[in-house]
Chain A
């Protein structure tokens, strides 16, 4: 074989990376072959490991998408995703962050919008899993707030609290794919719903939000106090005469479910 001119360390690494990502053959002539293994076979060990490791990371984050698509289609998706969004972070933790967007825009996945929605749901579970820690507030903490301070009362949500809109029956779909295997017919919902995802006692949890809770939550995220939150509920024509009771009851549910970390007045 003709001896290739030596590369600098930086050129060599760039050529090696291009071989992994784009099958660029430039690096091959810089790799030693022997009677046992040729340079191409040796390099193929690295290409295989590159895609396999990233697919493994995606399979961990997107278990339901994997089950839904099946091994072969999921592998193909992973190769396409990996080529489109090479990892830019030291930790594999962040590698899969663009999956929902990718599924929502690339053929053929985008023709089945529930796949992107399911991926968005699974990524939000990942985000809640290792979101920042914070001590949760208790009903006793709330009881310490004097009645005259209630109108100014604000609450801080746990850093793991996320909401996510969805238009397909992805929750039974996710359960089927990760737990019981009883796949529902995939269908659009009569109206958009919102899912609440958070972590309580180290366990990631989720449930659908009622319209009242969603309205309340949007106010809390906007930093509104209790009287503003009540107004917001009233404006939404939700339980007009019972608004303060309803607001207090939502708050107590959230406290019991470990979603609230602090009260302010």
Chain B
């Protein structure tokens, strides 16, 4: 099957530097038309019939490229895939014409209940097969490759047979999907599970990576929680620079979901990402969005 976005072996699409579209910034985005290259939306927030969410979605889409990021696909779940949800997702894709669509490598519900959290999977062959099969079904349904994001985790399972990045790699290669690498999540999990985040980066296949996330977290010394309510911290910026050195130009966005700062602060933080990008990649990294919808 041929998908509408670039092959993992072809040239990666580089959108530049983006932000999460959040309701606190709707008016600022429309009025100031800030120099943000693209926005990422949380798909579920726009699976509604009308009103402000869709009004602002359409208005922002007229001015910026968008990507869609879901939180409820439950690709690692053991309940049947929710085709009502996938139909809503497809309808939103048709409306929004996103550059691509992503969700998380996790499970989010069981027995008909949605936990609204990104629950970690055990790193087993069983889970690889299970997730890969479901990704293939979803990709068939949507007619395009999806991106799966690594989540932050606070537990690991005794019966895991490999480490996280081996599992992540096996899933995306088996499923033939792409990766949304969350640099902060790698850092958070490296602290919680005591691994070297550079080992993680080095275990990720370069050609599968389509997007980066950056975010802040809450540091409790013994453990770190992925809260998206603080600025990105220095060790994560350093890891980001290492990721750019390994993967090259990758579309990057900052996730901020709580304790929302003035929009200018987020723009300044995004500039920091650009500056690091420029210093690691030089001038070679120019956006190649000409052929995007």
Q: Which residues on A are within 8 Å of B, measured CB to CB?
A: 3-4, 6-10, 12-14, 16-17, 20-21, 29-32, 34, 36-37, 39, 42-43, 45-46, 49-50, 53-54, 57, 86-93, 95, 129-134, 159-160, 199, 202
Contact = CB atoms under 8 A, between A and B. Distances in A.
A74 to B, nearest CB: 18
Interface in B145-176: 154-159
A31 B156 contact: yes
Contacts of A57: 116
A13 B50 contact: no
A9 B78 contact: yes
B246 to A, nearest CB: 28
A88 B116 CA distance: 10
Contacts of A88: 112-114
B77 interface: yes
B117 A130 contact: no
Interface string B85-129: 100100000000000000000010111111111010110101100
A7 B119 CA distance: 16
A90 B72 contact: yes
Nearest to B108: A90
The 5 closest A-B pairs by CB, nearest first: A133-B50, A90-B72, A10-B78, A130-B48, A132-B49
Nearest to A6: B159
Contacts of A39: 155
A184 B124 CA distance: 60
A32 B116 contact: no
A13 B131 CA distance: 14
Nearest to A43: B155
B155 A9 contact: no
B33 interface: no
A43 to B, nearest CB: 6
Contacts of B47: 90-91, 93
Nearest to A44: B154
B211 to A, nearest CB: 22
5 contacts: A6-B159, A9-B124, A14-B111, A130-B50, A133-B55
Interface of B: 44-45, 47-55, 72, 76-78, 82, 85, 88, 107, 109-117, 119, 121-122, 124, 126-127, 130, 154-159, 192, 194, 222-223, 225
Contact of A202 (B55, B117, B158, B192): B55
A59 to B, nearest CB: 13
Contact of A31 (B114, B115, B157, B223): B157
A45 B118 CA distance: 12
A32 B51 contact: no
B49 A8 contact: no
B115 A7 contact: no
Give the interface centre of A13, A54, A130 by most chain B CB atoms within 10 Å: A13
Contact of A50 (B55, B115, B130): B115
B116 A92 contact: yes
B225 A45 contact: yes
A69 to B, nearest CB: 22
Nearest to A15: B110
B112 A32 contact: no
A36 B190 CA distance: 13
A186 B49 CA distance: 35
B257 to A, nearest CB: 11
Nearest to A57: B116
A54 B159 CA distance: 30
Given A130-B51, A133-B50, A133-B51, A31 B222 contact: no
Contact of A53 (B113, B117, B119, B130): B117
Contacts of B112: 88
